[in-house]
Amino acid sequence: MWTLAGQGCWRRRALASWATRAARRGLPGPRPAPTRGAAAESKTPDRSYSSADRKEKIDMSRFSVENTRNFSIIAHVDHGKSTLADRLLELTGAIDKTKNNKQVLDKLQVERERGITVKAQTASLFYDYEGKQYLLNLIDTPGHVDFSYEVSRSLSACQGVLLVVDANEGIQAQTVANFFLAFEAQLSVIPVINKIDLKNADPESVEKQIEKVFDIPSDECIKISAKLGTNVESVLQAVIKRIPPPKVHRKNPLRALVFDSTFDQYRGVIANVALFDGVVSKGDKIVSAHTQKTYEVNEVGVLNPNEQPTHKLLGFLGLLHMEVFNQRLEQEYNASVILTTPTVPYKAVLSSAKLIKEYREKEITIINPAQFPDKSKVTEYLEPIVLGTIITPDEYIGKIMMLCQARRAVQKNMMYIDQNRIMLKYLFPLNEIVVDFYDSLKSLSSGYASFDYEDAGYQTAELVKMDILLNGNIVEELVTVVHKDKAYSAGKAICERLKDSLPRQLFEIAIQAALGSKIIARETVKAYRKNVLAKCYGGDITRKMKLLKRQAEGKKKLRKVGNVEVPKDAFVKVLKTQSDK
Ligand SMILES: Nc1nc2c(ncn2[C@@H]2O[C@H](COP(=O)(O)OP(=O)(O)OP(=O)(O)O)[C@@H](O)[C@H]2O)c(=O)[nH]1
């Protein structure tokens, strides 16, 4: 288990979540006035620790709470968080400086293959500054919209953030979303303009955007090249000067927040915790505020960059999320995965007292589309909605508006954030964006538009349950809830796509979409036709007819008992098109 404050970092076995959300309220109050300007960061040469001497020389008790900083790196996807983390790890001696240090904290195989962070990762840095020894606990977070839950969770353990913005691309949708997550949590925000080495970099214009959109004075921005290491030391100094230490009262009883956990086959559950009060040592008995169960601390220690945390599965938030976790389950757990249609939690208001008694509540939440209650049982259905932010060059605005309209979105706001880029705000039904909205947006804006969203409650909706049948059998993985107006087009699209994805078999396959007993779309996959007449040379027509009749009877039987096998990738192909129709 690993702590983020006070006592340093620790690890132990068999621990469940034990600090309540109330513990969060003990987090620091409003951020202190930041030191003005990147130039204010001192040039004093500082000491860092080589990875070789780190274990022997670092005595955790030397780090007082005042000399501890807990911070996250947040940014839009690909703006350079992991590269900056590499440089910070090198500067503080957590890893040796070699040319091979590329996204060191992206430890999962899937992260290395795809070149993106999907899981927040943590590391402790030790740094001497102006004669004091500091413990800097860093969390590198994912930038892709599908993994933004990782960002929110990481922020609960921090007092400040480095908001990294690409000097060429400027502010994007996840920059805005992540800034507001940090702002609402009252964290200190240090804007870092990265990639100043790029030919097309325009840090001055990005500074202006930051001032306009976030109201942060432009002289607070630190301009760096994480790739080349330019000015990265100022970032460490800003962390010390502008982010407050955690408010931990060591003499109080222990209070901590579990912000991540992993499972080790031999050591059991390992929890990463932010310590809010007290101290913790090996042998201590601790209580989970949630379950009231008592556990013994078996081990306490520093989480170093070489730990390999894995993560339990939080449902899918998009196609990338789905594919990444499918890949992780296959690679890390050797598990074969059956994918089902991503669904959102719908609600239904029950119509009679009898039903309310049966379900023990008036409003039920439906997670599994197969359990979607019939219209006769409800007075209204409700669907979750989100407030989406899109940032795009203005040349794509027309196409994007059409896409949003097709997804039943309602425009809420529109503003220019610089000369030719627009920020749009839309209310979207969550089920319209959860599958492939991001992919469609990227493809119609040649990759330039960015997107993020936040929860915005529920709205009334006309919903229906749609079944997909293969030769009369419901395919449970494809049962879905759709808006009434989209049922016909969605059913037709799924049938067409399935037809293209299913391999032909010896018997005919009927693909149908149905609302209850009403079939609304149908496609047919023709059977392979075996030439039963091949050996029947010449004449005798009755012999030929007999063979053809026997073949037709055989096929009928096969169709009835035929067990149609759907290839795994067929589900993903079907889902990808579903919401465009
Ligand atoms: N030229 C240049 N390229 C950089 C710089 N920093 C990062 N990059 C490149 O930008 C790409 C993305 O960098 P990452 O560090 O993976 O970005 P990230 O924000 O961690 O990405 P996600 O975690 O997937 O959101 C990589 O190809 C880096 O080499 C920089 O300062 N200059």
Ranking 1-15, 93-107, 416-430 by mean pLDDT, the lowest is 1-15
pLDDT digits (tens, 9 = 90+) for 374-396: 888 899 999 999 999 999 999 99
Q: Closest ligand 1 atom to the C-alpha of 226?
A: 31
pLDDT digits (tens, 9 = 90+) for 256-302: 877 767 666 666 677 777 777 777 777 788 888 878 888 777 776 65
pLDDT at 458 over 90: yes
What is the rounded average pLDDT of the residues 524-531?
A: 75
At 235, is the pLDDT very low, low, confident or very high (cuts 50, 70, 90)? very high
pLDDT at 427 over 70: yes
pLDDT at 491 over 50: yes
CA angle 46, 52, 58 (to 5 degrees): 60
Q: Closest ligand 1 atom to the C-alpha of 85?
A: 15
Q: Assess whether the C-beta atom of 82 lies below 6 angstroms from ligand 1.
A: yes
Q: Assess whether the C-beta atom of 234 lies below 6 angstroms from ligand 1.
A: no
pLDDT at 57 over 50: no
Q: Assess whether the C-beta atom of 80 lies below 6 angstroms from ligand 1.
A: yes
Rounded CA separation 386/453 (Å): 6
Rounded CA separation 60/462 (Å): 59
pLDDT digits (tens, 9 = 90+) for 333-342: 565 555 566 6
pLDDT at 201: 94
pLDDT at 120 over 60: no
Cα separation of the two ends of the chain: 48
pLDDT at 233: 92
Distance 450 CA to ligand 1 centre (A): 16
Residue among 70, 55, 60 at smallest CA distance from 9:
60
Distance 162 CA to ligand 1 centre (A): 15
pLDDT at 409: 95
Q: Assess whether the C-beta atom of 194 lies below 6 angstroms from ligand 1.
A: yes
Which H or E element spans position 189? strand 188-194
Q: Assess whether the C-beta atom of 203 lies below 6 angstroms from ligand 1.
A: no
pLDDT at 121: 66
Q: Closest ligand 1 atom to the C-alpha of 75?
A: 19
Rounded CA separation 273/126 (Å): 19
Instruction: Tell me the pairing of strands 480-483 and 450-461.
Output: unpaired
Tallying the residues shown for the chain, one arrives at 581
pLDDT at 7: 32
pLDDT at 545 over 60: yes
In a 13 Å sphere around the CA of 283, the CA atoms on its Cβ side amount to 0
pLDDT at 503: 76
pLDDT at 211 over 80: yes
Q: Closest ligand 1 atom to the C-alpha of 86?
A: 15
What is the rounded average pLDDT of the residues 107-132?
A: 63
At 326, is the pLDDT very low, low, confident or very high (cuts 50, 70, 90)? low
pLDDT at 105 over 60: no
pLDDT at 266: 63
Rounded CA separation 279/64 (Å): 12
Ranking 54-58, 189-193, 222-226, 409-413 by mean pLDDT, the lowest is 54-58
What is the rounded average pLDDT of the residues 300-314?
A: 43
Distance 226 CA to ligand 1 centre (A): 8
pLDDT at 149: 58
pLDDT at 304: 45
Q: How far is CA 311 from CA 31, 112, 122, 157, in A?
A: 32, 16, 14, 18
Q: Considering only residues 348 and 534, tell me which one the structure prediction assigns the higher pLDDT.
A: 348
At 306, is the pLDDT very low, low, confident or very high (cuts 50, 70, 90)? very low
Distance 80 CA to ligand 1 centre (A): 3
pLDDT at 530: 65
Residues above pLDDT 90, as percent of the chain: 25
Backbone angles phi and psi of 234, in degrees to 5:
-60, -30
Dihedral of the alpha carbons of 37, 42, 43, 44, in degrees to the nearest 10? -170
Q: Assess whether the C-beta atom of 76 lies below 6 angstroms from ligand 1.
A: no
pLDDT at 565 over 80: no
Q: Which of 72, 76, 79, 83 to mutate to test the pocket of ligand 1 (most atoms within 8 A of CB)?
A: 83
Q: Strands, E, within 417-517: which ranges?
A: 421-429, 450-461, 463-470, 473-474, 480-483, 509-515
pLDDT at 208 over 90: yes
- Coil, strand or helix at 154: helix
pLDDT at 70 over 80: yes
Residue among 293, 308, 309 at smallest CA distance from 259:
309
Q: Which of 175, 227, 228, 232 to mutate to test the pocket of ligand 1 (most atoms within 8 A of CB)?
A: 227
pLDDT at 229: 92
Concatenating the DSSP letter of every residue in 379-436 gives: EEEEEEEEEEEEEEEGGGHHHHHHHHHHTT-EEEEEEESSSSEEEEEEEEEHHHHTTT
Selection from 22-26, 221-225, 540-544 with the highest mean pLDDT = 221-225
At 146, is the pLDDT very low, low, confident or very high (cuts 50, 70, 90)? low
At 241, is the pLDDT very low, low, confident or very high (cuts 50, 70, 90)? very high
Q: Assess whether the C-beta atom of 219 lies below 6 angstroms from ligand 1.
A: no
pLDDT at 115 over 60: no
Nearest CA to ligand 1 atom 32: 195
Q: Considering only residues 352 and 229, tell me which one the structure prediction assigns the higher pLDDT.
A: 229
At 296, list the tokens. 């013994």
pLDDT at 249 over 50: yes
Q: Assess whether the C-beta atom of 341 lies below 6 angstroms from ligand 1.
A: no
pLDDT at 353: 83
What is the rounded average pLDDT of the residues 66-82?
A: 87
pLDDT at 343: 73
pLDDT at 559 over 50: no
Please enumerate in sequence order all residues whose Cβ is within 8 A of that of 136, keeping only pairs 6 or more positions apart, or say none.
Answer: 68, 69, 71, 88, 92, 124, 125, 126, 127, 236, 239, 240
What is the rounded average pLDDT of the residues 36-45?
A: 39
CB 84 within 8 A of CB 138: no
pLDDT at 192 over 70: yes
Q: Assess whether the C-beta atom of 579 lies below 6 angstroms from ligand 1.
A: no
pLDDT at 316: 46
Ranking 6-15, 155-164, 171-180 by mean pLDDT, the lowest is 6-15
Q: How much is the mean pLDDT over the chain?
A: 74
- Coil, strand or helix at 133: strand
- Look at the block and give the residue holding tokens 């693909």: 511
pLDDT at 193: 97
pLDDT at 11: 26
DSSP bridge pairs for 458: 384
DSSP structure class, residue 551: H
